[in-house]
Amino acid sequence: MINDLQKQIYNLYLRAYRVNNNQPFKAKKKFDDLSAEKIAYLEKLENVFKRYPSFLSNLYFDAPYKIYNDEKKFYDLKFFSSSKGISTCIAYFKVLNNGNPEEQIDFIKSSYKFIAEFCVSKNISLDQYIYYCSVSQNDCIIHLKEHKLSWYIIYGLPGFYDLLYDLPSDEFELYFGSDISLGSLYDKYNASPKTKETVDVIKEKIREYIKKQLH
């Protein structure tokens, strides 16, 4: 019998295959039919995600479908539990960090969905989100570091950019590495009216959703 985390991992894996092949996805609820081999790979993946908690998301399993341009449309659990699977995920995060905003519309939408769920769980408004601290650092910075948010979110939420800009350079690099340029990302964002409009529309929908949930 597999545990809840392994069930979550398997559904993320199934979702990636279905969605990236333009097929509908429905979460699996019964796992009695899983082979011993699949369970062994799920255990390996569980260890990967325990070591790298920020990898546990749709992005990890979307990575090879987005990175590789070959004809292959299926990547098995063996691939995802391998060093190749991990390196592919890291490469995809780098692409997302510096990619064009038009290519991140789905990521932007899922970012706002994550923010909405977080705000409701903490009983805070959208405007309070960037100031909320569970520990010593603002949670939004941790969320950005853990790839739960698209970088283009920071230009749509007032105060988020300033919060990052005001970080000491050594602290910024510690969190995000040396490849991130706030100015370059802003230029890309500012040159994409479609992305700016999408961000504004989604932001207001999320704002209203959170208000309703908190009252």
pLDDT in tens, 125-139: 999 999 999 888 899
Structure-token pair, residue 49: 């995600």
Asked if 55 contacts 148 with a C-beta cutoff of 8 angstroms, the reply is: no
pLDDT in tens, 155-169: 989 899 999 999 999
Name which of 54, 39, 45 is nearest 90 in CA terms: 54
Which region among 73-77, 84-88, 97-101, 210-214 has the lowest average model confidence (pLDDT)?
A: 97-101
Is the sign of the CA dihedral 22, 24, 26, 30 positive or negative? negative
pLDDT in tens, 89-142: 988 888 887 778 888 888 888 899 999 999 999 999 999 999 999 888 899 999
Residue 165 buriedness (CB in 10 A; 0-12 / 13-18 / 19+): exposed
Q: How many CB atoms lie within 10 A of CB 174?
A: 11
Confidence of residue 40 (pLDDT cuts 50, 70, 90): very high
